[in-house]
Structures are given as structure tokens and as C-alpha cells.
Structure 1
Amino acid sequence: MKILLLGATGRVGSEIAAHARSEGHSLTVLVRHPEKIENRDESITIVQGNVLNQLDISQVMLGNEVVICALGTDGDTTLSDCMPLIVEAMNNHGIKRIITIGTAGILNSKTNQGLLRYQSSESKRRTTRAAEEHHKAYLILKQSDLEWTIVCPTYLPLGEAVGTYRVERDYLPDGGTEISVYDTAAFAYHQLKSREYMRSRVGIAY
């Protein structure tokens, strides 16, 4: 499979890259700082560029079959600003499948009907800025014709690969408080082979 990975130098993105390469997939990454990519070999194509540049996004899509977006929010609006560019480029190149990493804040609230978790009493965060950014990206995907899945982890320590966890469509599993980077990356990667959560958010927690 030919995979385009955005956010490959982040915690979750780098683990997704490791999964893809271990199974022999052709991996292309678009990064601002190529020197941050470790363990380089012929299985990975490193393209220096910016996700906010429409030409960079369009060119890096060429020849790929699926997109995985593990971009963080980083205190700015990069995620929501680049998502329309990603959707447009995917449409132009005939790519339908995209898997993204979101946050549990954009899952439906179980205690306040009609609200998302970050808008409700379920949220324990002092600031909602990151959730608001992920919410914008979610709405852009929801309005598209793409086959999207948004993996929504709760508190995300590095932790370790446990291999067992709970998932729930559009909601956070009851009592879920954390999920490791490794298990989040593994679940997101395995969505390449599954259509179970197509056009859905997925809450993930231990």
C-alpha cells in the first residue's frame, strides 16, 4: 500500500510510520525538517515541505492510495487551515481514505446531550483551544465525501504498548482516562485494513 503520512515526526506519527515500514508499505512523509526522520531506508520517501502550502500538499499526494494525518495543534491553527487543502488534493487525485488523530474532546458527551465532550461538564481541561481546533478539522471532513476515520484518544502519555484497550464509536468508553501513544498508533494504523469505523470518530482508552 502507498501511504502518505502527515505529522510523521510527532509522537503518534512516528509510531504509525514504524508500523507501516515494518509491514513493507511504501511510505511518503511531508515534513518541514527532514533531519528529524530517523531510520531512513528505501521504504520511506521524505519530502520537505509545508502542509499549509497547497502546491506541496498536491504534489505529495501523487501516487499515494491513503492518507494518515497525525498533525498536532501546537498552539496554532495549522490543523484546521491545512485540512481544506488536504481534502481538495485528495479529491483532485482520486484518493478517498483518510485516517486522522483527533482528541477525545470532540467525541459526543454522555452527560450533556447535543454537546461534544469539550463543551460539556465531562471536560477536565482548563483550556479548550486544542479541542476547538480538532473540532474544526472534524467538521471539514464530515462535510466532505471522503472515507474518513478520526481516532480520538483521551489523555495520551507515552506509556507502553499494552495491546488491549476499549474503543467506542463517537463516544469515549466509560471510565476511560488514558491510552498510550503506542496503542493509539497501533489502532490508527490497523484502520487501514478496516472499514468498521468509516466516517466515524472513535474513542479509545484503557
Structure 2
Amino acid sequence: MKLTVLGATGGVGSEVVKQALAAGHHVTAVVRDPSRLDVQGELLEVVVAELSEHGALTEAVSGRDVVISALGTRDRNPTTVITDGAHATLAAMRSAGNRRLLLVSASGAFVDGDTFFTRNFVKPILGKFLRHAFADMIAAERIVRASDLDWTIVRPPRLLNGPHTGAIAARTDGNVRGSYSINRADVADYLLRAASDDSLIHRTASIARA
């Protein structure tokens, strides 16, 4: 499989690159600062580009089987990083004739399937601290859903830096109940498996530690 990873120097993105290379996939990592990418491999191509560089992004996704957007920010100020990324990615994919897109979002921004306590007490508190990041994710999801691409949206909860465990619970009808975190390495595992799972096209999958 040939794939392009946006946000390849982030926690989830770098794990996707590592696991994809280990599995023998051809990976194009789109980065702003190549010095932050601590991954090497014969099947790795690094493209240095800004989201605003349509030509470079189009070339980076051209001929790839799947594009994975793992963009994100740790800034609690107003942000449009993921929304801008969605616009830029969709434009590049349309120009290149690509179809398959996976977008990493977050289950914390949504209450579908949550318990009464989580929905009415936990999420409102969480939303106060992360309201700008959540607003960005919600807007990005809307953009992707409105597209004509073969998209899948993946919503993990709180991200941790633990090892790859393979213990992943997933739901497409709401958030996973009773589990509120997942290792970034396991998110990457799920993304790579979802990339070739046609049953997840036009679906939103919430995942968490099993």
C-alpha cells in the first residue's frame, strides 16, 4: 500500500509512519520541519510543505492509495489547524484524483453513545478546557463528510504514549463506553487497518483501549 501521512511528526502521525514502514508500505510523510521526523526507511519519502502549498500537497498525494490526516495542535487558543488541513487535503486529493481519506478527530468533542454521567458532567468540563480544539475538529469533520471522497473519521479519546498493545475497542454507532484513553501506537494500528477496510467508508469509528 502507498500512503501519505499529514501531521507525520505528531504523536499519532509518527506512529503511523513507523508501523506502516515496518509493515512494508510505501510512506510519504508531509512535514513542515523534517528535523522533527525521527523515522528512517528505504520506503519513506519526506515532503516538506505547508498546507497552503497546493502544488506540493497534490504531488505528495498523487498515486497514493490512502491519505491519513493526523494533524492536531496542543494549543488551547483558537485554532483552525485541522480545518485548514481538511480544506487543503481535499483540494489536493481532488486535483490528484485520490479517493481514500482517513481523518483523525477526537471522541471528546462528541457525546454520541456516552453514558448519562459522561455526557452531562464529564464532557461539559472537558469542553471548557478544549473548546477551541474541539470546535476545529467538529468543523473539519463537517468538511470531510460533505466531500465526495471515500472518507473514514476516527475518533480516539485521551491519547497516551504507551506501547502498541493491539487491545482496541471500536464502535461506529457512538463513543466507546467505559474506556477513556488509548495509546497513540494503537490509534496508528487502527488507522492502518481501517485504510483497507471498505466497510468503514463513509463511517465514523470511535475507538478506545479495550
TM-score by length of 1: 0.89
Cα deviation for residue 58 of structure 1 reads 1.9
* CA RMSD, Structure 1 to Structure 2 (Å): 2.0
Q: Quick one: which amino acid aligns to residue 208 of structure 2?
A: A
Higher deviation after alignment, 138-147 or 158-167 = 158-167
**What's the counterpart of residue 93 of structure 2?**
90
Q: Distance in 2 between matches of 1:156 and 1:40?
A: 24
**What's the counterpart of residue 41 of structure 2?**
41
1:155-206: CA deviation from partner (whole Å, max 9, x where unpaired): 1111232212211014111112111111111111111221222112111112
Q: Distance in 1 between matches of 2:110 and 2:173?
A: 5
**Mapping of 1:74-113 within 5 angstroms?**
74-75=74-75, 76-110=79-113
Does the Cα contact within 8 Å between 1:111 and 1:121 map onto a contact in 2? no
**What's the counterpart of residue 64 of structure 1?**
64
Distance 1:121 1:34, change over 3 A: same
Matched, 1:188 2:191: yes
Bigger helix fraction? 2
Higher deviation after alignment, 28-37 or 101-110 = 101-110
Number of equivalenced pairs: 201
Does the Cα contact within 8 Å between 1:111 and 1:122 map onto a contact in 2? no
User: Percent of counterpart pairs with the same letter?
Assistant: 28
Higher deviation after alignment, 137-146 or 161-170 = 161-170
Distance 1:121 1:140, change over 3 A: farther
Distance 1:106 1:145, change over 3 A: farther
Q: Distance in 1 between matches of 2:184 and 2:51?
A: 23
What residue ranges of structure 1 are gaps of 5+ in the alignment?
none
Q: Distance in 1 between matches of 2:63 and 2:105?
A: 26
126, 129, 139: which is aligned to 2:142? 139
Cα deviation for residue 121 of structure 1 reads 4.7
Distance 1:39 1:29, change over 3 A: closer
Distance 1:2 1:165, change over 3 A: closer
164, 188, 198: which is aligned to 2:201? 198
What residue ranges of structure 2 are gaps of 5+ in the alignment?
none
Distance 1:78 1:53, change over 3 A: farther
Q: Distance in 2 between matches of 1:57 and 1:66?
A: 14
Q: Distance in 1 between matches of 2:72 and 2:176?
A: 23
Q: Quick one: which amino acid aligns to residue 32 of structure 2?
A: R
Higher deviation after alignment, 36-45 or 62-71 = 36-45
